[in-house]
Amino acid sequence: MPSADDMKKAAAEAALEYINSGDIVGVGTGSTANYFIDLLGRIKGRIDGAVASSEASAKLLRGHGIEVMELNNVGDLPLYVDGADEATQHGYLIKGGGGALTREKIVAQASEKFVCIADDSKLVDVLGDFPLPVEVIPMARSLVARYLVDLGGQPEYRVGFVTDNGNIILDVRNMRIVDPKDLETRLNQMPGVVTNGLFAHRGADVMLFGGASGVEKIEV
Ligand code: 5RP
């Protein structure tokens, strides 16, 4: 039985086939995305550069000698590759376990194709067992937390964590998310919320799940 890390690596490797020569690739954040970055390092001659969804990924990419570009300077991207904390077969995701949700959402939105890579433990029927990360402007922390309680959630302040954008994260437990698009919209309307970790309006186009018997591909 392969380990979860082996499954993540296998999913990352399968994502390489979506890269075309000369692409500027959008790159996600987290342990699975890190495996993808390592693989990108091996084929870096085939790509023109990358746009990173976090300072951490940018540093890793540069460490492999890959040019990290500003999204503002490159316009739309052909491809975004990133992991997920939970995924449904419709391509709806919870992301942000690593706290990079806002930049991840920006790069995903700017990309023609979003390929999600994960081990198959991330595939669920209904989102919400994994606490939903919400990035919040610091002064709105209590206001937004009360709103999340009104919605039935149990928000928890991610102590000691500051996002790349200088904000805080509330992780929301107790959400059984049956309508991800609706909840994503409602959360985004609350003043003080920068982004929430639901990727439903712009979910994954392709999901590659590493498992015991290889990589399963789901096209949405
Ligand atoms: C970071 C993310 C990651 O994609 C998510 O947390 C999955 O991470 P991992 O690949 O380590 O399981 O959204 O903000």
- Which of the residues 86, 104, 135, 184 is marked catalytic? 104
Residue from 27, 32, 207 to probe ligand 1 pocket by mutation (most atoms less than 8 Å from CB):
32
| pLDDT at residue number 200 | 98
Q: What type of residue sits at position 64? A: H
| pLDDT at residue number 35 | 98
Q: Which position has the token pair 């503002």? A: 72
State in Å: Cα 75 to ligand 1 middle: 24
| pLDDT at residue number 174 | 92
State in Å: Cα 45 to ligand 1 middle: 26
Return the residue whose CA atom lies nearest to atom 10 of ligand 1.
32
| pLDDT at residue number 218 | 98
| pLDDT at residue number 193 | 98
Q: In which region does residue 30 sit, left (phi positive, over 0), alpha (psi from -120 to 50) or beta (all else)? A: left
Assess whether 104 carries a catalytic annotation: yes
CA distance 155 to 148: 7
Q: Render each residue's pLDDT in the chain as its tens digit; 220 residues.
A: 899 999 999 999 999 999 999 999 999 999 999 999 999 999 999 999 999 999 999 999 999 999 999 999 999 999 999 999 999 999 999 999 999 999 999 999 999 999 999 999 999 999 999 999 999 999 999 999 999 999 999 999 999 999 999 999 999 999 999 999 999 999 999 999 999 999 999 999 999 999 999 999 999 9
The answer to whether the CB of 119 is under 6 A from ligand 1 is: no
User: What is the token pair recorded at 164?
Assistant: 């790349």
The answer to whether the CB of 128 is under 6 A from ligand 1 is: no
Q: How is residue 18 annotated by DSSP?
A: G
Q: How is residue 23 annotated by DSSP?
A: P
Q: What type of residue sits at position 44? A: K
CA distance 181 to 93: 10
Q: What is the DSSP string of 55-96?
A: HHHHHHHHHTTPPB--HHHH-SEEEEEE--SEE-TTS-EE--
| pLDDT at residue number 172 | 98
